[in-house]
Amino acid sequence: MSHLITDLSAFDLSGCNTVRQALTALIRSEAVQASLEALCAKIRFREFSSHDQNIDLDTVSDAIEIFLESENVKSCELHLAKHLDTSETLHDLLRDVMHMREFSPLIEALSRRVVKRFPETKKILANIASEVVMDAAINIVRRRDTSSPLDALKGINITLAYMPNFDRMKSARMPTVSYFSEEKDATTIAPDQVFRDFMALTGITKEQWTKVVAERTGVELDKPSDDTHGSKVIAQEWKRANWVPKGKPLVTPEQLFEAVDASAHGFSPLIAISLNAYRFVKRDWSKAMSITGGVLGLHDFDNGTGDPLRFEGSRILETRPCQFVQPELQKFGLALSHGFTQNTFNGRMKDTSVFMEMPLRRTESEIANEIVTAVRINFGVDTQWVTSEVDIGELRDAAAEALGRHLQIEKQVADRAVAGFDSEEMAALLVGLQGRDHTYITLAAIAAAKDDWLFGLSCGTR
């Protein structure tokens, strides 16, 4: 510190009218700044950390809700920065600064110089100098701090529920299944879009579902139970209904039948899973989400009824933050209503591609078959959507070109894959790829120019 003392002794403080002005002037000098920088370099400080045991979970929950509503990571971060209490961490920082070996000599050097300008402050000078140096050191340490308010989320798991027909950007109302009568069970549930998307999510086919209902109740859903008009309409609805399973069944048809039958007040379809809060917020939302393990929700948030089912299988979700809810923030949460612990919802999440990953050592036919299977799993359209007037050749060329560019595969492989599609699957492929790259709108226009059935493609809807 001898060099510092020499520099301070020659420092002109004649223009300073108060002790604090003099101390501030000295601290801004090159010599003191160098000493402070050296002192602070030895302090490892992170204002926000996953190791903080005093994080207010309500603040975290509010921040997650802001993210789900805004789909904006920065908004979530700003809320955490404003509301997280880091006073204990800052207190630890003060203690660390004061206990540094260089702290006391620096205070003494500053006091020796300032007391010559303000001798009447000798008794209190050391305390004032400590405060000023402490403020300066904390500013330097905090400026160097690379932590983010989001880091506080790294040690926290949250339970989230994905709802396939929910978009809080459009409506706050959670989708529920519909029924043909006041008596709500597996025989009266309506095969509307909500139910069909739920069944696709479960991985259970229409044939498996109608079979188990017939075996358990004697009711054949796609056949009129009597000669009434209503019965015929219901049977016709079931005949028209169709869905494409999104993978292997998460539960058995028998388990699902019992759960639907036990949901006497209806339910909202969902998949609930416990995830690391930081990884959820910071994931790459341009990619699909693969989850393994969780709870298949048959749950009514208005009264707490339903029959949720634990599953261990995997499912790929093409989703956005606005399709998730925090179930325990609702009127009747999942855990509270059914006596679940957070471990009940344990699962794993990773980013993935919608299409299957294909090993390089495969024949063109094998790869093409994989693509056909993947498209059939991931894209489905109603059978009546595509008319027979479409030029299949031009549609096939457009689909092959779109698929080839998206997967970056050889043209002959794409051609071979598309040869395995029917017209509906090619249309579904084009609609699916359209959401990834606007180039595919142009490709699809080849077929769209011939007919109106692809009008929805240009609108992004069916």
Provide long-range contacts, Cβ within 8 A and 24+ apart, for 217-220: 217/186, 217/187, 219/187
* Mean per-residue pLDDT, 123-148: 89
Which of 44-53, 203-212, 380-389, 449-458 is the most confident on average? 203-212
Question: CA neighbours within 13 Å on the CB side: how many for 58?
Answer: 2
Whole-Å CA distances, 382 to 125, 210, 242, 244 = 82, 19, 7, 10
* Mean per-residue pLDDT, 285-302: 92
Q: What is the mean pLDDT of the chain?
A: 80
* Mean per-residue pLDDT, 355-359: 40
Which residue would you say has higher pLDDT here, 142 or 459? Answer: 142
Q: What is the model's pLDDT at position 372?
A: 54
* Mean per-residue pLDDT, 335-351: 91
Whole-model pTM: value is 0.67
Q: Nearest-CA neighbor of 158 among 80, 61, 63, 78? A: 61
Q: Nearest-CA neighbor of 324 among 186, 149, 442, 162? A: 162
Q: Nearest-CA neighbor of 300 among 177, 158, 191, 455? A: 177
Q: Report d(CA 55, CA 49) in Å as an integer.
A: 10
Q: Report d(CA 120, CA 109) in Å as an integer.
A: 17
Token pair for residue 23?
């101390």
Return the C-alpha torsion angle 362, 368, 374, 379, nearest 10: 160
Q: What is the model's pLDDT at position 449?
A: 34
Contact 1, 109 (CB under 8 A): yes
Q: Report d(CA 114, CA 133) in Å as an integer.
A: 14
* Mean per-residue pLDDT, 329-334: 91
Taking 50 as the threshold, does the pLDDT of residue 299 lie above it? yes
Percent of the chain with pLDDT over 90: 40
Taking 80 as the threshold, does the pLDDT of residue 327 lie above it? yes
Which of 7-16, 203-212, 232-241, 424-433 is the most confident on average? 203-212
Taking 70 as the threshold, does the pLDDT of residue 395 lie above it? no
* Mean per-residue pLDDT, 111-121: 90
Q: Residue 393: enclosing H or E segment and its boundaries?
A: helix 392-407
Q: Nearest-CA neighbor of 289 among 309, 273, 306, 307? A: 273
Beta strands in 203-328, from DSSP E residues, in sequence order: 268-276, 288-299, 309-317, 324-325
* Mean per-residue pLDDT, 242-268: 93
Contact 377, 428 (CB under 8 A): no
pLDDT in tens, 20-71: 999 999 988 888 888 888 888 888 888 888 777 678 899 999 999 999 999 9
Taking 90 as the threshold, does the pLDDT of residue 179 lie above it? yes
Contact 67, 321 (CB under 8 A): yes
Burial (CB < 10 A; 0-12, 13-18, 19+), residue 361, is exposed
Q: Report d(CA 420, CA 369) in Å as an integer.
A: 8
Q: What is the model's pLDDT at position 430?
A: 64
Report how far apart the first and last C-alpha atoms of the chain are (Å, whole number). 76
In the structure, what pLDDT confidence band is assigned to residue 346 with cuts at 50, 70 and 90?
A: very high
Contact 419, 445 (CB under 8 A): no
Question: CA neighbours within 13 Å on the CB side: how many for 12?
Answer: 2
